[in-house]
Amino acid sequence: MAQSFPSILTPYTEGWRIQPYSKGGSPSIVGTKQTVAVPNGFWKAKGSFYITTREELLEARGFLAGLDGQAGEFLVGPYDYRGAPWNIDPLTGARITPDLAALDAAADPAFGLNPDTTGVLQFSLAANVAANATSAMLTRTQGGHLTRGQYFSIGQRMHIITGLTTADPTDAGSGQAVPGQIGITFRPWARSLYTAGSALEFGRPQSLMKLATDDIGQIDLTTSPVSDLPLDFVEAL
């Protein structure tokens, strides 16, 4: 089981993108060139972390030392979760993010048990997804509408929705998402066979990553209360 990136470390900047791969032939006599996508794209990420406390400093030092450079693999995902398909509060119309769900549960634990006010998301695969596939059929049991640009993970592999291939089931009266099946396209290409019934994580998606190079991981200590830790990751394949 891969270790998780320390939760005590919060980035003040982050960036996630897919490094795509394409192949092209030689230019034709009129200068045109055909280029096609190949299933070799992988995630690259970067983040900058403020180190402000003794606990953050020690945790960062120990975690990075234990990775042994690129040899160490860990689970980490985008910190910004605003784009996830959160449930919508039927009374206020607010998205029930983890922060709001925690506040509601603190006021009354029943909020977390009521399907209309819970912050829980439940999505799964409606059918098998073959290796190298770029489309899937999902089943939504609990959650909001899907749209391109949303991250999700299956096991230790993260993907991003690039489009919908079916209508997203919606209640005609309220306009809110309802349980049902939704077809999507996604990138990167499926890493392996994903079996029907596999759970999809939209709330806190994560990917198996490693340091981009062995030279990364220096904490730039300063005489001020704030020190800086810049990190670059690549997907561990």
For residue 31, what pLDDT is reported? 65
How large a percentage of the chain has pLDDT more than 90? Answer: 70
Number of alpha carbons in the 13 Å side-chain half-sphere of residue 118: 11
Question: Among 31-35, 86-90, 96-100, 143-147, which range has the highest average pLDDT?
Answer: 143-147
Domain 1-77+206-237 has CATH 1.10.260: no
For residue 63, what pLDDT is reported? 97
**Tokens describing residue 67:** 């990775």
For residue 157, what pLDDT is reported? 97
Q: Which amino acid is at 138?
A: L
For residue 156, what pLDDT is reported? 96
pLDDT-based confidence at 225, cuts 50/70/90? confident
Which of the residue ranges 97-106, 129-138, 223-232 would you say has the lowest mean pLDDT?
97-106
Domain 81-85+121-205 has CATH 2.60.40: no
Main-chain dihedrals φ then ψ at residue 92, nearest 5 degrees = -100, -20
- Contacts of 19-27 with C-beta under 8 Å, sequence gap 24+, read 19/43, 19/44, 19/234
> 202, 140, 126: which is closest to 177 by C-alpha?
140
For residue 32, what pLDDT is reported? 73
Question: Among 13-22, 116-125, 188-197, which range has the highest average pLDDT?
Answer: 188-197
Mean pLDDT of the chain: 90
**Tokens describing residue 215:** 């030279």
**Tokens describing residue 100:** 């709001």
- Asked if 98 and 84 count as a contact pair (C-beta separation under 8 A), the reply is no
pLDDT at 168 over 70: yes
pLDDT at 28 over 70: no
Sorted by where each begins, the domain ranges of the chain are 1-77+206-237, 81-85+121-205
